[in-house]
Structure 1
Amino acid sequence: MTTTKSYDGFTGAERGAMKARAKELKGGGKEDPEVAQLQKIAAMADEDRAMATRLHELIKAEVPELTPKLWYGMPGWVKDGKVVCFFQDAAKFKARYATIGFNDSAALDEGDLWPVAYALKEWTPAVEQRLVALVRKAVS
């Protein structure tokens, strides 16, 4: 008789993200989205918090057509009701780096293949310059 290992489904982190998204949908605008986003950022580990804070400031100053909101418990930025980009802290899924990702509403199309997520280990002036260019292109 052979036994097969059963699939346990989603990880705890994945279930947590889904619960966060359900809470966001049920909340329906009761809390200021920017306040909620800043609270989420404030709860991050030091390095991730510094990067997410700077990203928030950068988007607010350089790409004001994007508005902040939480998306699956992560800081996200929205245009016309659609999440364009988001920041995933390293601790969220126990990764070794934070991630800045772009959804399909981002205008980053370049031929038949282009990146939609970027690993972020350290914030530098070069990284900042690249991110400003990416986010501006994403909303163009």
Structure 2
Amino acid sequence: MCHHRLPPHHDTRRESTMSRTTTSTYAGFTAEERAAMKEHAQEVKKEARRRSRADKAAEAERDVLAKIAEMPEPDRTMAERVHAIVKAEAPALAPKLWYGMPAYARDGKVVCFFQSADKFKARYATLGFNDEARLDDEPMWATSFAVTDVTAEVGKRIAALVRQAAG
């Protein structure tokens, strides 16, 4: 009896799924997303070059303030207010750049961040919270908030969220 190798099993379902995936309308990352990833790579390299912990903290805050200063209005004013609120309400959170955005971290892990509307050509700025934020006291909670102005009332809401997130 002669044994011949059989061709590998041909699964047409898998092939159609694979071709559908590769021929979908996904066109890759946007120019803004690619720029944010490049910024993040530069941030990581810059942070690795810093010497002492105090140098890192001071330089990181200067970097955040410089990034905020580059923002167009009204994002700049909102980011300045958010920065002041975070510094006042959660001084243990360390300012740092994260994908080119002002962010605030605990033990190097980002708790919250401010994304200007201009960064991704969005309609509004965003105050976002990552997994490190301690906002989950119920089965469902918000992790980002659209921000169009930091009024006194909005500032109070941000302060309460930041205090809770910082734990």
In structure 1, what is the equivalent of residue 17 of structure 2?
Answer: none
Q: CA separation in 1, counterparts of 2:24 and 2:108?
A: 42
Show structure 1 runs of 5+ residues with no match: none
Work out which of the residue numbers 118, 121, 138 in structure 2 matches 1:94: 121
Q: CA separation in 2, counterparts of 1:139 and 1:39?
A: 24
In structure 2, what is the equivalent of residue 19 of structure 1?
Answer: 38
Work out which of the residue numbers 47, 50, 59 in structure 2 matches 1:28: 47
Residue 75 of structure 1: CA displacement?
Answer: 0.2
In structure 1, what is the equivalent of residue 19 of structure 2?
Answer: none
Once the two structures are superposed, the pairs formed by residues 44-59 of structure 1 within 5 Å of their partners are 44-59=71-86
Amino acid at match of 2:36: A
In structure 1, what is the equivalent of residue 102 of structure 2?
Answer: 75
Q: CA separation in 2, counterparts of 1:93 and 1:87?
A: 12
Structure 1's consecutive aligned runs of 4 or more residues displaced over 4 angstroms after TM superposition are none
Question: What number of residue pairs does the alignment pair up?
Answer: 137
Amino acid at match of 1:96: R
- Please, what is the CA RMSD of the aligned residues? 1.4
Residue 6 of structure 1: CA displacement?
Answer: 5.6
Amino acid at match of 2:111: V
Show structure 2 runs of 5+ residues with no match: 1-22, 51-55
Residue 5 of structure 1: CA displacement?
Answer: 6.3
Percent pairwise identity: 53
Matched, 1:126 2:153: yes
In structure 2, what is the equivalent of residue 139 of structure 1?
Answer: 166
